[in-house]
Structure 1
Amino acid sequence: MTRGTEYAEGAAEQSPQLWAARAAFAEQGVLARHLRRLWAIPGTRLGVATWPASPRHRLLVNWNYWWQANLLDCLIDAQVRAPSPNRLRTIHQHVRGIRLRNFRQWTNEYYDDIAWLGLALLRASDELGLDTEDALDAITVRLREGWTDHGGGGIWWRRGDNLKNVPANGPAAILLARFAQDRADRQRARSITDWMDGYLRDRETGLLFDGLRTSPDGGIAGLVDIVYTYNQGTFLGACVELAADDRSGIWAERAERTIHAVAHHLAVEGVLPGRRGGDGGLFAGILARYLALSAIRLPEASGDLASWLVFTTADEAWRNRAVAPSGPLFGDEPGIPAITPRGPRDGRVERDLSVQVSGWMVMEAAAALEGHASMRS
């Protein structure tokens, strides 16, 4: 029996509501400390970027578009885990707040931003029944337009830029595979994921590099050979989606390869590493989300190992949480004790909404695995 198998089975033998309860506490803390009306407009909610918040953040001057998308994803996780009319109302208000803060538009210049929001809005539609058709049409049209042959293919990171990277292509591939209004979208998702595998995979470790820059003639100017956790997660998520109708087994094989690469070359004794605050605060949680999805949807592709990585990371994050008003407060590194910030001038990364949403996301990933194990038993 592998270590992953032992851990997955051991976790399933715990209280069937252990991780669900921890996810609920995490949700309570994040929403109480960060969720506010947008500019006092009734019927709106947005996540404040920090807690304790500076005056600028309290006024929601800073616009962290993709943080809001992942906050929305966590709200949907919670609603699926424990349906509540109050939370459903909050989800409606949050979607409205995002659109109003984005000046009544669903898109911006960043293809990664809109792909993240598209993923959350598609789940809101499919799993909760929200009408997000107009938003999804606007987002997917923009993503389809983002593909060019520069650098061998792929979608741009931003309009007018020369960077093509996993942060844009990974979530775009997942969204197009799920949305799939026609066979062409499914093929687009395959082409995007093939491009990431062919151009950005490190042949030595199996991990995905961040991206590549193109030259004016369409060639490759250079490789951005940084390895980020969340890029492994979105590539894994795309493979999971594409494995659903694949008889060759190639996508399940790629998913399994990625899980092993994470376990052997990124995780430290099963714990996913953090990457400070800011945007990096979200990285570990996103990888945990797609590891859990892979374990549930493709259990034969090293599902036990994927589960072990999620539960081990969740255990460490919970054990090292700090005490804060309304609920637990997480650090950016699951294996290091979190420290409660002293005020709005404290530079600790624990203040960042991204870090707290990531911690909550890890708890929801563990709760999803727990719930899946309970259904099977």
Structure 2
Amino acid sequence: MNKYVLFLIFIFSCIACGETNEQDTNTIEGSTDTSQITITPVTNLKAKITQNPNELYLTWTNPITVTNMLGVEIYYKQKGSNDEKRVNTIQKGEGYLLRLTSAEPYFISVVVVDNYGRKSERVTITAIPSNKGVPLADSCTYVLIEQFMDKTKGTFWVSPQNISGNSANTYIYWQQAHAIDVVLYSYERIKDNNPILAATYKEYFERWFQNHGNNYHHDNNDPTGFSNPYTDDMCWIGLTLLRMSEVLDDNKFADTAKRLYDTYIITRKWTDDKGTGLPWNNENNSNGRSRNICTNAPGALMATKLYKKYNEDKYLSDAKILHKFAYDNNYLTLGDGRIEEPPLTYTQGTYGEASRQLYHITNEKYYLTCAEKVISYVTTSDRCLTNGILRNEGPSMDQSIFKAVLIPYIVNLALDEAANSTLRQNLILFLRKNAETLSANLTRGTYPEMYCNYYWGSIFTGNIASMGAQASGASLLEGVLRLNTALENN
């Protein structure tokens, strides 16, 4: 074979190899052309100011249609500046705490990135952090809502986002009243200055009402949807319905509470030589028929509020009867202000508020004296305090939410000009001391997982946070903010 033939063979071999390489480059078996794939961007991008200056908490919803999603990139720059910065790490969740250098308008953009490095279009918003932050009450209430509320129902889980998977979440009922009460107080405070957030809160209230506050008891013959075997649970729920009616100026809530009381609560009362009182539940045994303070105190308070709303004498009569039964058959006759054994904050507070309300209806000094005694006891007795701070009453959902019941009623007495002036001043100092202690023991760097502990004198270090503890802490901060605002305005 001569050199010319060898040369031709070499040339054809190179051409063949070139064709093969080109095919391998453009057509890989089992692959698809990804150049036309569009990455879906995030939705619902929002920025919320926090309790700290120059800080924004970003939230968004990740696309569910993007497979192999790596996370999101976050970009930000001051309005009018070309100096754009990027958060160093890709965020895999749906929230990020963005710490900025000043309280100026910022452009904030979020971009979805998948494992192939492909990116979505930017979603951009404009937001302005506060140079002072917002009241800590806002942040504490925000944590209660964001971490514990099922927003589709307006009701609350026991643990953050129901992470415990605890079946008890299905059954908590009376605690729902006191958790949504915190949001009601927040709504009152922010409705004029933040109408958008207030409108969102109103939606939660409506959903809570439509879902009957997570009532596990279903009676097809009950037109209210709130009837329950436990009388005290209905009283707590009824009080919240009346509060909703006051705050939202909507009679449907009060009318429902009235029907609940008339049909399912007061009809259970029974009388013997000890007087007339409400039983704990509808079971026909000694335990069910026991007429305890945790039922008759809220029952008396609910009756006073129904009287003030509807001006029907039967409610005032009921309130007096239930109040007297609670006084005569518990520990108040000892004279120290303790209403039961052991003394618990929620019953002390509820009986105190029922007494205060009865004083303003009847102008009988006896009732105001009762209010002052029971509230003074809970704020001074070592039985209720640890180092001058309201004690940890226990980790259960029944116990952990007790202080959320108490706090608004201490605030009410502290603001009541009819009450003893020295006591009022002591209550103001007590509330502020508790709030300062709680504030010092909130780990702000963990926001929005900034949880309240069962005892406000220590930092939360547990594995799973408690809705009851969070509601109690948020109730304290909302209450003290309400207190301070009222005092400043007067």
Alignment partner of 1:282 is 2:391: no
Alignment partner of 1:80 is 2:80: no
CA separation of 1:175/1:19 partners in 2, compared to 1, >3 Å: closer, same or farther? farther
Aligned positions of 1:95-106 closer than 5 A: 95-98=209-212, 101-102=215-216, 103=218, 105-106=225-226
Residue 27 of structure 1: aligned partner: 141
User: Per-residue displacement from partner, 1:275-296 (whole Å, max 9, x unpaired)?
Assistant: 1222100112322221111112
Amino acid at match of 2:468: S
1:204 positional shift: 5.3
Greater Cα shift, 320-329 or 244-253: 320-329
Aligned positions of 1:1-377 closer than 5 A: 21-37=135-151, 44-51=153-160, 53-54=162-163, 56-57=165-166, 62-83=170-191, 84-98=198-212, 101-102=215-216, 103=218, 105-130=225-250, 131-141=252-262, 142-150=264-272, 151-160=274-283, 161-180=288-307, 181=310, 182-202=312-332, 203=334, 205-209=336-340, 225-265=341-381, 266-278=384-396, 279-298=398-417, 300-301=419-420, 302-323=423-444, 324-326=446-448, 328-339=450-461, 341=463, 346=464, 351-376=465-490
Q: Which has the larger radius of gyration?
A: 2
Residue 213 of structure 1: aligned partner: none
Q: Structure 1: how far apart are the matches of 2:451 and 2:389?
A: 18
User: Per-residue displacement from partner, 1:41-72 (whole Å, max 9, x unpaired)?
Assistant: xx532211112634634x88522111111112
Q: Structure 2: how far apart are the matches of 1:92 and 1:340?
A: 33
Residues 155 and 208 of structure 2 are in contact (CA less than 8 Å); yes or no, is this contact kept in structure 1?
A: yes
Residue 220 of structure 1: aligned partner: none
Structure 2, unmatched stretches of 5+, are: 1-131, 192-197, 219-223
> TM-score, structure 1 length as denominator?
0.81
Q: Where is the strand percentage greater, Structure 1 or Structure 2?
A: 2
CA separation of 1:241/1:192 partners in 2, compared to 1, >3 Å: closer, same or farther? same
CA separation of 1:46/1:285 partners in 2, compared to 1, >3 Å: closer, same or farther? closer
Q: Structure 1: how far apart are the matches of 2:315 and 2:469?
A: 33
Greater Cα shift, 119-128 or 301-310: 301-310
User: Per-residue displacement from partner, 1:329-365 (whole Å, max 9, x unpaired)?
Assistant: 1001111222252xxxx5xxxx221111111111111
For the residue of structure 2 that corresponds to 1:297, the secondary structure is: coil
Residue 48 of structure 2: aligned partner: none
Residues 259 and 305 of structure 1 are in contact (CA less than 8 Å); yes or no, is this contact kept in structure 2?
A: no
Q: Where is the helix percentage greater, Structure 1 or Structure 2?
A: 1
Residues 231 and 279 of structure 2 are in contact (CA less than 8 Å); yes or no, is this contact kept in structure 1?
A: yes
Greater Cα shift, 322-331 or 179-188: 322-331
For the residue of structure 2 that corresponds to 1:300, the secondary structure is: coil
Q: Structure 1: how far apart are the matches of 2:351 and 2:280?
A: 15
Q: Structure 2: how far apart are the matches of 1:235 and 1:60?
A: 28
CA separation of 1:177/1:30 partners in 2, compared to 1, >3 Å: closer, same or farther? same
Taking only aligned residues, the RMSD between alpha carbons, in angstroms, comes to 2.3
Residues 322 and 339 of structure 1 are in contact (CA less than 8 Å); yes or no, is this contact kept in structure 2?
A: no
Moved over 6 A (4+): none
CA separation of 1:281/1:118 partners in 2, compared to 1, >3 Å: closer, same or farther? same
Give the share of equivalent positions with the same residue, in percent. Answer: 17
CA separation of 1:101/1:183 partners in 2, compared to 1, >3 Å: closer, same or farther? closer
1:19 positional shift: 12
Q: Structure 1: how far apart are the matches of 2:347 and 2:330?
A: 10
1:248 positional shift: 3.0
Q: Structure 2: how far apart are the matches of 1:375 and 1:292?
A: 15
Q: Structure 1: how far apart are the matches of 2:417 and 2:173?
A: 31
1:200 positional shift: 0.8
1:321 positional shift: 2.0
Q: Report which structure shows greater RCO (CA 8 Å, sep ≥6).
A: 1
1:269 positional shift: 4.7
- How many residues get paired? 330
Residues 228 and 283 of structure 1 are in contact (CA less than 8 Å); yes or no, is this contact kept in structure 2?
A: yes
> TM-score, structure 2 length as denominator?
0.63
Residues 19 and 367 of structure 1 are in contact (CA less than 8 Å); yes or no, is this contact kept in structure 2?
A: no
Structure 1, unmatched stretches of 5+, are: 1-17, 38-42, 210-224
Amino acid at match of 2:436: D
Q: Structure 2: how far apart are the matches of 1:100 and 1:338?
A: 27
1:309 positional shift: 2.2
